[in-house]
Structure 1
Amino acid sequence: MWEDQLKFYDNIVAQCQDFERKGKKMIYTSANGYMFTLLNKDAEIGIRLSKASQKAFKEKYNATEYRSYGAVMRDYVKVPEALYSETQLLVDYFNESYNYVMSLKPK
Structure 2
Amino acid sequence: MTAWEKNLAIFDELVAMNQKFERLGKTMPYCAANTHMFALLNKDAELGLRLSNKSQEAFKEKYNTTIYKSYGAVMKDYVLVPDEILKDLKLLSQYLDESYEYVMSLKPNPRKKK
> Given the alignment of the two structures, is residue 49 of structure 1 paired with residue 66 of structure 2, yes or no?
no
Matched, 1:30 2:25: no
Alignment of 1:21-100 (within 5 A): 21-100=23-102
Q: In the TM superposition, what whole-angstrom CA distance separates every residue of 1:31-69 from its partner, at most 9, and x where no partner exists? A: 000000000000000000000000000011111110000
Q: Which amino acid aligns with 2:84?
A: A
Cα distance in 2, alignment partners of residues 84 and 96 from structure 1: 16
State the alpha-carbon separation in 1 of the partners of residues 75 and 15 from structure 2.
20
1:10 to 9, 12, 15: 12
Give the unaligned 5+ runs of structure 1.
none
Superposed displacement of residue 82, structure 1 = 1.5
RMSD: 0.6
- Cα distance between partner residues in 1 of 2:56 and 2:88: 18
CA radius of gyration, larger in:
2
Runs of 4+ in 1 over 4 A off after TM superposition: none
Determine the C-alpha separation between the residues in 2 that align with 1:8 and 1:83. Answer: 11
How far is 1:18 from its partner? 0.5
Query: Structure 2-normalised TM-score?
Result: 0.92
Q: Report the 3-state secondary structure (helix = DSSP H, G, I; strand = E; otherwise coil) of the residue aligned with 1:72.
A: strand
TM-score, normalization by structure 1: 0.98
Work out the CA distance in 2 between the residues paired with 1:95 and 1:5.
18
Query: 1:17 offset after TM fit, Å?
Result: 1.6
Identity, % of aligned positions: 60
